[in-house]
Chains A and B, each alone.
Chain A
Amino acid sequence: MENKLQEVNEQAAANASDALSKLIDRQVEVEISRTEVKKVEDLSPLIGPEEMVAGIYLPVTGDINGAALLIFPKETAFVLSDLLVKREPGTTHKLTDLDTSALKEVGNIISGNYLTVLANVLQIKIIEHIPNFSFDMFGAIVSQIITAFAQKTQEALVIEIEFTFKPETFKGYFLLLFEVEQFKAMLGSLVGVAGGGFLETS
């Protein structure tokens, strides 16, 4: 069966690369290195519950209801901030309001591109809402999103993203959580399975 998830990943990454390159006026390659379905209770060890991360949360409504959550480990957030506000590399050690705003824009770009491609492939309506930002422990950030959907969500689509600003590569994570039946239907349409398991897409 055709794996539409691969198609979504490739198209979304290409679109995000173009948009980010224009934003920071430098060639950026966004690649999706791994896509995985995880149970929500298994998300916390993804990075480590006490690790400091930048979290950008975008509520999602429309034909499917859920959450998009961009996670940038601290180092990735600092590198992105240097690039976005045009500082010397290695300058950022604390996020300012300007950095926060710029990182939210990156979240908008990544999430917006992914959800737009997803909506086109699945031919459904997806509305992404304004981004919310937090810089704190990974466990604290991700658990609030899990809790918000605790009655309705069992699994999340975890998309590992690599940003390459040659010669360096930095990692981030894009998490998509939808209500159970909608999530199963979405996965069924994308990869022909009704949820669960590992989806090797690279």
Chain B
Amino acid sequence: MGDMAVIEGPHNLITSGVGSCLVVTLYDPKLQIGALAHTMLPLSPTQNADNKTPLSRNSSSESLPSQQACLVAEQVSAKVKDTKYINVAIDEMLQRMQTQGSEREDLEAKLIGGANMFPSFDSDIGRDNVLGAKEKLKAKGIRIVGECVGGSQGRSVEFSPTTGVVTVKVKF
């Protein structure tokens, strides 16, 4: 949770147990590189006056998915950028991919997650995450080409930077 990585093939990125969190993937079909962020909240405190006490995190590469070997070209630690926030994570993914030669208009985004795991409890976290990501991506001019969001089921996500294919697993 709260981590992001930019990677190139042939290895995939996997993140498990996504509930109200939102996984955002960016894929560059020309360069065949991709980025994945497992975000928790829509806006960083600097852009949200209501949130004045950011959670102190001590993230490390160990918190990245480990079921499959990942070639992590660049991992942005939450120590440096608080990528648990969608707006921060998208900015960071975009910047890192552009550094590697991606053009913004080539990028394709996919969104996964944003569920409400307790349907009888009125929670807007998942929905706000989805809306926040859509607004941010629109503002950045990045196309959303697929989404698997909402509902009340947890999801696990596997992302291929070579093909851009996202595989979503649910358990029931």
- Chain A contacts to B: CB under 8 angstroms: 39-41, 44, 49-50, 52, 55, 57, 59, 132-134, 136-144, 146-148, 150-154, 180
Contact in complex: A134, B171 (CB < 8 Å): no
Contact in complex: A57, B121 (CB < 8 Å): yes
- Chain B contacts to A: CB under 8 angstroms: 1-2, 16-21, 40-41, 45, 51-59, 63, 84, 115-118, 120-121, 123, 125-126, 152-156, 171-172
Contact in complex: A133, B118 (CB < 8 Å): yes
Contact in complex: B121, A141 (CB < 8 Å): no
Query: When the two chains form the complex, which single residue of A41, A57, A132, A139 contacts B2, counting CB atoms closer than 8 Å?
Result: A41
Q: Bound complex: CA of A129 vs CA of B40, how far in Å?
A: 25
Complex contacts, A57 vs chain B, CB 8 Å: 118, 121
A75 to chain B minimum Cβ distance, whole angstroms, is 15
Complex contacts, A41 vs chain B, CB 8 Å: 1-2, 57-59, 63
Q: Bound complex: CA of A132 vs CA of B125, how far in Å?
A: 16
Query: When the two chains form the complex, which single residue of B40, B51, B58, B154 contacts A139, counting CB atoms closer than 8 Å?
Result: B154
Q: Bound complex: CA of A40 vs CA of B55, how far in Å?
A: 10
Complex contacts, A40 vs chain B, CB 8 Å: 55
A131 to chain B minimum Cβ distance, whole angstroms, is 9
**A143-B40 in contact given A137-B16, A137-B17 (Cβ < 8 Å):** yes
Query: Which secondary structure dominates chain A's binding surface?
Result: mixed
Complex contacts, A137 vs chain B, CB 8 Å: 16-17, 19, 154-156, 171
Q: List 12 A-B contacts (CB under 8 A).
A: A39-B58, A41-B1, A41-B57, A44-B1, A49-B17, A50-B17, A50-B171, A57-B121, A143-B18, A143-B19, A144-B115, A144-B123
Complex contacts, A147 vs chain B, CB 8 Å: 19-21, 40-41, 125
- Centre residue among A41, A141, A147 by max chain B CB count within 10 A: A147
Query: When the two chains form the complex, which single residue of A133, A139, A150, A151 contacts B19, counting CB atoms closer than 8 Å?
Result: A139
Complex contacts, A153 vs chain B, CB 8 Å: 55
Contact in complex: A144, B116 (CB < 8 Å): yes
Complex contacts, B45 vs chain A, CB 8 Å: 151
B38 to chain A minimum Cβ distance, whole angstroms, is 9
Chain B: CB-nearest residue to A41 = B57
**A140-B54 in contact given A57-B121, A147-B41, A150-B84 (Cβ < 8 Å):** no
Contact in complex: A151, B154 (CB < 8 Å): no
Contact in complex: A134, B118 (CB < 8 Å): yes
**A140-B55 in contact given A44-B17, A147-B41, A150-B40 (Cβ < 8 Å):** no
Which 5 interchain pairs have the tightest Cβ spacing?
A: A139-B17, A140-B154, A49-B17, A140-B19, A137-B154
